[in-house]
């Protein structure tokens, strides 16, 4: 393989085949000390190469090349160790594109940390609750960032890193749905919170039950399994018993109608009122 460009001390772009072949045959390789051992145009043996990065488009190759030229080698080591750890946790081999996406993320995150700019992920609770293994990968990366840079890295950053691995668990056309589902749960929780003017005790059992119910409720909406039904006697009784919960559910009804173009069934409405009554009553007592 011929070296066509040296990006930094340890990384180079190499071309498979002859020097006249198209740039589409170029790949990025990691070889410790390649800049000191070789120059552009030299051959590099496969035995010298410790890691190759094969990207599926020239644009991604250019982007990764730029990143590697302008970030520290230690950041690539953070990414490499994180991905190795993540692959063991989720028992899945990742594509080389994740190296690009994660290096971009880590590089920018460290720049933010140096400026003391902390960004809290809006999906913090949902990721910790529904994707604990992926969150563990994020925490591992946070620890590596702190050890490497000496900067304090908040656990909120673990959520953003976890999302890169969560996306691997779904097909490409389902990625947006996963994020939209978590956002829908968060939006409904916000409706409840602002209606009752309270802050949730996020570690409470009642809150966990409410969130779990909302998660499955939203999944049914995405799968077009929601349905409408006539008003039942039980539903009437719950409305009368818990008028504030009913008022709150009416706001959720509007959100569901606008977001999913579906109507709440009596059964869904009744369950929502009961969960909301339980969690808000306990929060108000506390």
Distances (CA, A) of 81 to 12, 77, 201: 20, 6, 35
Kindly list the domain boundaries of the chain, sorted by start residue. 2-55, 73-169, 173-285
Alpha helices (runs of H) in 13-131, residue ranges in sequence order: 34-37, 58-70, 73-90, 97-114, 124-130
Residue 5's beta-bridge partner residues? 13
Radius of gyration of the chain (CA): 25
| Closest residue by Cα to residue 256 from 219, 221, 215, 220 | 221
Total count of residues recorded for the chain:
286
Taking only the tens place, the pLDDT of each residue in 236-285 is 888 999 999 999 999 999 999 888 888 888 888 888 998 899 888 866 55
Place of tokens 């829908």: 184
Same fold, 2-55 and 73-169: no
Q: What percent of the chain has a predicted confidence (pLDDT) above 70?
A: 86
CATH architecture label of 73-169: Orthogonal Bundle (1.10)
* Residue scoring higher pLDDT (179 or 184): 184
* Burial bucket for residue 175 (CB in 10 Å: 0-12, 13-18, 19+): middle
Taking only the tens place, the pLDDT of each residue in 10-56 is 888 888 765 555 455 788 888 888 878 888 878 888 888 888 888 77
pTM to 2 decimal places: 0.59
Contact 135, 128 (CB under 8 A): yes
Question: What strands, in cross-sheet order, belong to the sheet with 26-30?
Answer: 2-6, 11-15, 26-30, 51-53
Q: Tell me the C-alpha distance between 172 and 167, whole Å.
A: 8
* Burial bucket for residue 162 (CB in 10 Å: 0-12, 13-18, 19+): buried
Confidence of residue 172 (pLDDT cuts 50, 70, 90): very low
pLDDT, position 245: 94
| Strand pairing report for 51-53 and 26-30 | antiparallel
* Burial bucket for residue 96 (CB in 10 Å: 0-12, 13-18, 19+): middle
pLDDT, position 84: 94
Q: Tell me the C-alpha distance between 239 and 241, whole Å.
A: 6
Taking only the tens place, the pLDDT of each residue in 195-219 is 999 888 877 777 877 887 887 788 7
Check if CATH label 1.10.1790.10 holds for domain 173-285: yes
pLDDT, position 74: 92
pLDDT, position 230: 55
Residue 149 has pLDDT above 50, yes or no: yes
Taking only the tens place, the pLDDT of each residue in 87-135 is 999 888 888 888 888 988 899 889 888 888 776 665 677 788 778 899 9
Q: What percent of the chain has a predicted confidence (pLDDT) above 90?
A: 25
CATH no. of 2-55? 2.30.24.10
């Amino acid at each position: 393989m011929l070296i066509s460009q040296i990006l930094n001390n340890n990384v180079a772009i190499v071309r498979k085949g002859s020097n006249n072949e198209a740039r589409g045959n170029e790949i990025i390789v990691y070889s410790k000390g390649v800049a000191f051992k070789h120059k552009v145009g030299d051959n590099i043996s496969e035995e010298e190469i410790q890691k190759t990065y094969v990207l599926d488009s020239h644009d991604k190759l250019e982007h990764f090349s730029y990143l590697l030229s302008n970030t520290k080698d230690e950041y690539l080591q953070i990414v490499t160790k994180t991905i190795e750890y993540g692959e063991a946790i989720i028992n899945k081999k990742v594509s080389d594109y994740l190296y690009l996406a994660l290096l971009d993320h880590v590089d920018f995150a460290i720049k933010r940390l140096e400026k003391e700019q902390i960004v809290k992920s809006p999906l913090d609770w949902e990721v910790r609750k529904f994707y604990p293994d992926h969150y563990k990968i994020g925490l591992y990366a946070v620890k590596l960032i702190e050890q490497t840079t000496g900067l304090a890295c908040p656990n909120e950053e673990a959520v953003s890193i976890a999302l890169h691995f969560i996306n691997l668990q779904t097909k490409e056309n389902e990625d947006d749905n996963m994020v939209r589902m978590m956002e829908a749960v968060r939006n409904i929780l916000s409706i409840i919170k602002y209606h009752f003017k309270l802050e949730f005790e996020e570690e409470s059992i009642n809150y966990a039950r409410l969130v779990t119910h909302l998660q499955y409720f939203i999944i049914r909406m995405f799968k077009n399994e929601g349905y409408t039904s006539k008003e039942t006697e039980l539903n009437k009784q719950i409305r009368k018993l818990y008028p504030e919960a009913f008022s709150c559910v009416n706001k959720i009804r509007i959100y569901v109608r606008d977001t999913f173009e579906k109507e709440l069934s009596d059964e869904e409405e009744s369950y929502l009122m009961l969960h909301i009554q339980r969690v808000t009553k306990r929060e108000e007592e506390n």
